[in-house]
Amino acid sequence: MTDATNVSYAKPAVGGAIYAAPAGTTLPTDATTTLASTYKSLGFVSEDGVTNANSPETEVINAWGGAPVLTVQTGRPDSFKFTLIEMTNVEVLKLVYGADNVTGTALSSGIKVSAGAGQLDPVVLVIDMVLKNALKRIVIPVATVADVGEIAYVDNDAVGFETTVSATADASGYTHYEYMKTPPVPAG
């Protein structure tokens, strides 16, 4: 049976939408619990929001004569793409360049980025959003930056890091978790 109340949109949660924490950080297990202080906000995301590619890859097996007889799943890559537009946010720089390659904590005291070819360490990512009738949280326990698009320094657009992260299976075999819940009603 169809139900229009199940149709929704997604907006960023107030105060931030994407958070990063070091690999191995305890994962949230619902949509509403306040994140631990180890989760650092990655600030504003461009108006394009977040996209998730999580489609199975398959191979069709044909019998003699060419008739398809079996479809085998050969993989299911899981990736998320977003553009981080707070280009001087130290936490954004740590995600894009690696935590060990960023020194300093604020512009007032100076920030240094050392860009190189070293392997980026995985992190935990949490994406919080507000749906029409619920809160939604996506938890990526093993997220590694797989691609950063070209960075354009122009005077008519925000400088941003178009970032694609690859979600790798955790110890339980899952690449990400999704939690949804009706927001709590304020007391009063």
- Per-residue pLDDT of 119-149, as tens digits, reads 999 999 999 999 988 999 999 999 999 999 9
pTM > 0.85: yes or no: yes
Give the phi and the psi of residue 94 in degrees, each rounded to 5: -65, -40
- Per-residue pLDDT of 146-172, as tens digits, reads 999 999 999 999 999 999 999 999 999
Spell out the domain ranges in the chain: 11-181
